[in-house]
Structure 1
Amino acid sequence: MSAELLPNARPKAANQKIGLIGVGRMGTGMGLCLLRHQVELHIKANKSRFGADRLAAAGAREHHSIAELAPHVSAVVLSLPSSREVEAVCLGQDGLFVHMSRGGLIIDCTTSYPGSTVALAEQAQKRGLAFIDAPVTRSPEQAELGLLNAIVGSNETLFPAAEGILATFCETVLHVGDVGKGHELKLVYNSMTMGIAAVASEVCQFANALGLDLVTLRSLVSRGSTNSGIFQAFVAFLLGEKPDVLAVSIANSAKDIGCAVRLAGESAVSVPILAATAHKLNNAVAGGKGELTLPHLSHP
């Protein structure tokens, strides 16, 4: 199936009752956009109260358990760290698959593992529910502005309903195939991001060790085909211009590249450079840098 690109799609979520599970930095931005589009938003908080408090103050209704939230909504958006958390939210006696009403739609905006996604979709169907993948790109700041990009894996029947919800917090909705294909493409995309980040970090260290000026290096790179947004972000971070740029954690980056390498292995694709990137990120996590942001890779 060819990809269908829908920029600036008109949101059709007004007056719907929608759940949001995972109100970290990205999820909070999504929730604020949903509220601005007159959605009746029901949330289940993370450990941190920051996002839940912001959303509750803006009109969201907070629930203390998934079992309590599920009967109130016809659709749920998930914004969680990994497939492990998605499975925990969906399965089990207190999960969505038990307590959500038949006909409900679950939209997984997490960067999850495709095999898990397909298995969850099959189990959801047996319970009269629909489960699709819609991982997103861009930053929490862009989430709050409604400028994310969603990569959707769903069948043709479910896509319009999902697109109407996603369009409240996404600038672009990209339909790439059936369930699982969204997460496959997101892992390919993220593997490129992490690979370039690993190269950028080493190049910056290399230049520094030689006593070369990063401003001069940036000027040179900016004029050639080697230029990239990742490299520019690393240099801006090292020069103190943008200390919060690329706010994804090294641990989360290691998780994503690890999933990509695993997917490649299952597909009999050789990816030695991506495997080396995964090794570099895992070493950084083992060295205590896991909770630091990705540009900290460039520090010795």
Structure 2
Amino acid sequence: MSDVSRTADTIGFIGLGLMGHGMAKNIVEKGYALTTMGHRNRTPVDDLVGRGAVEAASVAELAGRSDVVFLCVTGSTEVEALVRGPDGLLAHLKAGSVVIDCSSSDPTSTVKLGAELKAAGIDYADAPLSRTPKEAWEGTLDTMVGAEEAVFARIAPVLGTWAGKIVHIGGVGDGHRMKLLNNFISLGYGAIYAEALVLADRVGISADRLDQVIRGGRMDCGFYQTFMRYTLEGDRDAHKFSLANAFKDLRYLEAMADGAGLVNVVGNAVKNSYGVAIAAGGAKDYVPMLPDYIDRLNGGTK
């Protein structure tokens, strides 16, 4: 455990899912006082309490124990519900606190929430994530941060407990804008890989042969490698990012493009690839399983 100054912020953490559990584990193991909340899945809560965290019974109780609160939930709908309302963070955090949204959220919502919190003397930062639950557990995630300079300087040490790469993008909302661009690129790769694999199969080229050409060449990358582990090895857990979350982020991207007056031709095509999978019942499957749905759309039986 690292030594953390007695004057360090106390931390609250809401959202102990695939990413949040590992992030919170690193915060408490590296010396910060951590409060978290009960969850329908008791395993991460019990694990963190065993490592020294305190469990709160409500958002209000967690807010009362925390100077900095991390949110790592599905998206803006969930974030807004946690911040607003009589039982939300806005009503119970003290002035001088910070809320950090690590979810993949709609930047328009982020900017509005930031203004509402600022009016109450509470700072807001968006610090969405890149990489996988494996890196969350290891403390080597990437994060892209939207925050005022002074707020970024304050939160950087605790971000460093779970992130290996921290990039300060700009002001509030810019982290989420960058996250949507990041996911547009990665999910765009996924849509291309899925269609290429199905087309390769139709013209008699196996996934293994395709991989022999791509792997180690200029088109190779880390995302390609985790994506292909499902196709080549049947590893369903190689990249635990659901098709539902992918589709949600691409809808946020579409809204961002509309707001900027951009004709988002490729973005909409990528969104529709994932929409096909969602319509076919694939919401809970992971991104590397997209080729199965493209195959079925084209009369296959996978």
**TMscore range, shorter length:** over 0.9
Q: CA deviation at 1:224?
A: 3.6
Corresponding residue for residue 38 of structure 1: 31
Q: Secondary structure of 1:152's partner?
A: strand
Measure the CA separation in 2 of the matches of 1:51 and 1:140: 13
Residue 80 (1) aligns with residue 73 (2): yes
Gaps of 5+ in 2: 296-302
Corresponding residue for residue 22 of structure 2: 29
- 1:155-174 map, 5 Å: 155-174=148-167
Corresponding residue for residue 182 of structure 2: 189
Residue deviations 1:171-215 (CA, integer Å, cap 9, x gap): 011001111111100100101111110010111111122232222
Q: CA deviation at 1:61?
A: 0.8
Q: Larger relative CO (CA 8 A, sep 6+): 1 or 2?
A: 1
Q: What amino acid is the match of 1:285?
A: I
Q: Secondary structure of 1:101's partner?
A: coil
Q: CA deviation at 1:115?
A: 0.7
Q: CA deviation at 1:241?
A: 5.7
Corresponding residue for residue 57 of structure 1: 50
Q: How many residues align?
A: 291
- 1:64-213 map, 5 Å: 64-213=57-206
Q: CA deviation at 1:113?
A: 0.8
Q: Secondary structure of 1:239's partner?
A: helix
Out of 263, 282, 290, the residue aligned to residue 256 of structure 2 is 263
Residue deviations 1:195-247 (CA, integer Å, cap 9, x gap): 11001011111112223222221111125433333333333211226331111
Residue 248 (1) aligns with residue 241 (2): yes
TM-score between both structures, scaled by the size of structure 1: 0.92
Out of 211, 231, 235, the residue aligned to residue 238 of structure 1 is 231
Residue deviations 1:72-126 (CA, integer Å, cap 9, x gap): 1111011010011111000000000001111101111111111111111100011
8 Å contact from structure 2 (residues 60, 88) kept in 1: yes
Corresponding residue for residue 6 of structure 1: none
Measure the CA separation in 2 of the matches of 1:91 and 1:271: 32
Q: Comparing 83-92 with 261-270, which one deviates more in the overlay? A: 261-270
Residue deviations 1:42-93 (CA, integer Å, cap 9, x gap): 0023332222122122221111210111111111011010011111000000
Q: What value does the CA root-mean-square deviation take over the aligned residues?
A: 1.7
Q: Secondary structure of 1:252's partner?
A: helix
8 Å contact from structure 2 (residues 186, 223) kept in 1: yes
Measure the CA separation in 1 of the matches of 2:249 and 2:3: 30
